[in-house]
Amino acid sequence: MALSEATGAQIYCKLENLQRTGSFKERGARNALLLLGRNARRQGVVAASAGNHALGLEILRQVPDLEAVVCPIGGGGLIAGIAVAIKALRPKVRVIGVESTATGDYAAALRKGRPVRVARRATLADWRNCAA
């Protein structure tokens, strides 16, 4: 059953896990490099992974009438970047963070008022770390 049908709302999924690299980050960086002019390419580039805002911008381009984004919370970088981009351009869009009960670091930190370590259990996302 489709998510939209199950929820009675229009649901759009950003399936970045289907990228060849398993992530949007390589694609965004590659695109930025391809857009550089000849002189800029000769000067070289410095790269850092802080581009989660690019995903937020892409979501807004693809779903302009967006009301809410539901985003997984791991270390917080993905949701922070998405929220910065979306809230800067569309402040009324809700950005909702979710996490597995098996990896509840964020919820535990909110309860304690500080970062905490929580015993981690296996999740569906752990398939990437499995031996072939």
Q: pLDDT (tens digit, 0 to 9) for every residue of the chain, 132 residues total? A: 688 899 898 988 887 767 666 666 666 677 778 888 989 888 888 766 555 778 888 899 999 999 999 998 877 888 888 999 999 999 999 999 988 877 778 888 889 999 888 887 776 655 555 444
CB atoms within 10 A of CB 75: 9
Asked whether residue 79 is domain-assigned, the answer is yes
Torsion of Cα atoms, 23 then 26 then 27 then 33, to 10°: 170
Asked whether residue 111 is domain-assigned, the answer is no
The pTM for the full model equals 0.66
What is the structure's pLDDT at 132?
Answer: 43
Which DSSP helix (H) or strand (E) runs through 28? helix 25-34
For the chain, what is the domain count? 1
86: containing domain: 3-15+49-98
Asked whether residue 75 is domain-assigned, the answer is yes
Closest to 102 measured CA to CA, from 70, 81, 74: 74
| SS3 per residue for 75-120 | CCHHHHHHHHHHHHHCCCCEEEEECCHHHCHHHHHHHHCCCCCCCC
Asked whether residue 29 is domain-assigned, the answer is no
What is the structure's pLDDT at 15?
Answer: 76
What is the structure's pLDDT at 130?
Answer: 47
Asked whether residue 30 is domain-assigned, the answer is no
